[in-house]
Amino acid sequence: MNPFSYARATSVAEAIRLHRTTPGAHFLAGGTNIVDLMRENVVRPAAIVDINRLPLRDIEDTPEGGLRAGALVTHSKLAWDARVIERYPLLSQAILAGASAQIRNAGTVGGNVLQRTRCLYFYDPSTCCNKRAPGSGCAALDGVNRMHAILGASEHCIATHPSDMCVALEALDATIHIAGHDGTRTVPLAEFLLLPGDTPHRETTLAEDELITAIELPREGYAQHYAYVKLRDRQSYAFALVSVALGMQIEDGVVRSFACALGGVAHRPWRDRAAETLVNGCEASDTLAIERFADSLVSGAEARRGNAFKVEMTRRAIVRAFEQARASEATPAAAGEDASPPPDDTPPEEDRA
């Protein structure tokens, strides 16, 4: 048992002050990841700053026609919000493909972005892991690496970001709102989550004294043509081997706008905006265009012994997502176990107040 202090903040300013003035402090949101990490001795906070009383649980329309969700909005509340279902069904579908109803009721938007990798070695303090213990090595390089990255990895770390929600947020060009001692700032998710390089322990651009306050979605939500395809070992309660969040606008049979992000294959949701031009402007019936796009995305893949299968799996998942999105076949049931909100998947009492 590692002793730690506990403080409950009631305002964003107080949370930042407590975190800043207490060395080794960590924020606590839904606790579905940080508590596991503490139990496994992977993270040993000297102090916990509980942010659950902060006023960050609202989902609001923005003046620009987008949507802003506070950092403490739960997965369930966001996935079943009528505006999200209508305007950003890709996000709803991705969230419902993740975890379980119980975890979605507790887990928050901010915590989902900042959740740690599911690499087995990261969770086992008896092994070498540059992310947990910088400079110690990477046991996954020649170890069990079936779940690991094929894109953007380094010789120091081949871990993946495990989120489903973030893959959709990346395809939707979401931004992250941040508050800190020196004020507030907004950063695109694409720039917030980092690749491992030679500092895999640095996962985001969040400074020590900063807090995520919200995520924001722009107006375009690809409400007509979208798909979230998640390939995993079990149909429920399993992280993605490969996932694809794909949205497009089709006018007169032509793809006018196209966005595609991948999960389960890199240290952050993977998106190649330059390659997306291979599909933009093509006939929606042109299957060769999406195949060229898929080939281009995996052309830089570097596989290990255990995860080589992911290269072809990624290629096929992209094509499948495109076909689903084109036909507008996608429904929440297609991606996960949930076709409608089960009784235990509704926001907890305090969220509904």
Ligand X SMILES: Cc1cc2nc3c(=O)[nH]c(=O)nc-3n(C[C@H](O)[C@H](O)[C@H](O)COP(=O)(O)OP(=O)(O)OC[C@H]3O[C@@H](n4cnc5c(N)ncnc54)[C@H](O)[C@@H]3O)c2cc1C
Q: Tokens 């966005």, residue?
A: 259
38 lies in the site for ligand X, by CB under 6 A: no
- 41: alpha, beta or left, given left = phi > 0 and alpha = psi -120 to 50? left
Least spacing, CB of residue 196 vs ligand SF4, in Å? 7
Among ligand X, ligand SF4, none, what binds residue 131 when CB lies within 5 to 8 Å by partner kind? ligand SF4
CA atoms within 13 A on the CB side of 178: 20
Q: Which of residues 63-122 bind ligand SF4 (CB under 6 A)?
A: 117, 119, 121-122
Question: If binding means CB under 6 A, how many residues of this protein chain bind ligand X?
Answer: 29
Instruction: Considering the complex, state which of residue 16 and residue 289 has its C-beta at the smaller distance from ligand X.
Output: 16
**In this structure, how many other beta carbons lie within 10 angstroms of the beta carbon of residue 67?**
24
Question: CA 43 → CA 23, 91, 120, distances in Å?
Answer: 14, 30, 15
Q: Number of helices and strands (H, E) in the chain?
A: 13, 11
Q: Which of 9, 129, 259, 313 binds ligand SF4 (CB under 6 A)?
A: 129
Least CB distance from residue 154 to ligand SF4, whole Å? 9
**Distance in Å, CB of 297 to ligand SF4, minimum:** 21
CB-CB neighbours of 103 under 10 Å: 16
Q: In a 3-state reduction of DSSP, which class is residue 335? A: helix
| Minimum CB distance to ligand SF4 smaller for 157 or for 245 | 157
Which residue's beta carbon is nearest to the bound ligand X?
Answer: 111
Choice from 9, 28, 42, 298 touching ligand X (CB under 6 A):
28
Site string for ligand X, 204-243 (x = CB under 6 A): -------xx--------------------------x----
- Write out the two tokens for 174: 């979401």
Edge-to-edge strand ranges of the sheet holding 242-251: 225-231, 242-251, 254-263
Segment contacting ligand X by CB under 6 A, of 96-104, 249-257, 279-287, 333-341: 96-104
28 or 255: whose CB is closer to ligand X? 28
The answer to whether the beta carbons of residues 83 and 61 sit under 8 Å apart is yes
Site residues for ligand SF4, window 173-212 (CB under 6 A)? Answer: 200
> Structure tokens of 193?
């989550």
Q: How far apart are CA 65 and CA 133, in angstroms?
A: 44
- Rounded to whole angstroms, the Cα distance separating 267 from 193 reads 8
Which span (3-11, 128-136, 278-286, 342-350) binds ligand SF4, by CB under 6 A? 128-136
Establish if 157 lies at the interface with ligand SF4 (CB under 6 A): yes
Amino acid at position 153, single letter: A
Decide if residue 139 touches ligand SF4 (CB under 6 A).
yes
Examine residue 321 and tell whether it contacts ligand SF4 (CB under 6 A). no
Displacement of CA 154 from its chain's centroid (Å): 20
Residue 145 binds ligand X (CB under 6 A)? no
Q: Are 88 and 172 in contact (CB under 8 A)?
A: yes
Q: How far is the CB of 71 from ligand X (least distance, A)?
A: 4
**Which of positions 287-326 make contact with ligand X (CB under 6 A)?**
none
Helix axes 287-298, 309-327, angle to 10 degrees: 150
Taking CB under 6 A as the criterion, which residues in 166-205 touch ligand X? none
98 binds ligand X (CB under 6 A): yes
Q: Which residues bind ligand SF4 (CB under 6 A)?
A: 117, 119, 121-122, 129-131, 138-140, 157-159, 200
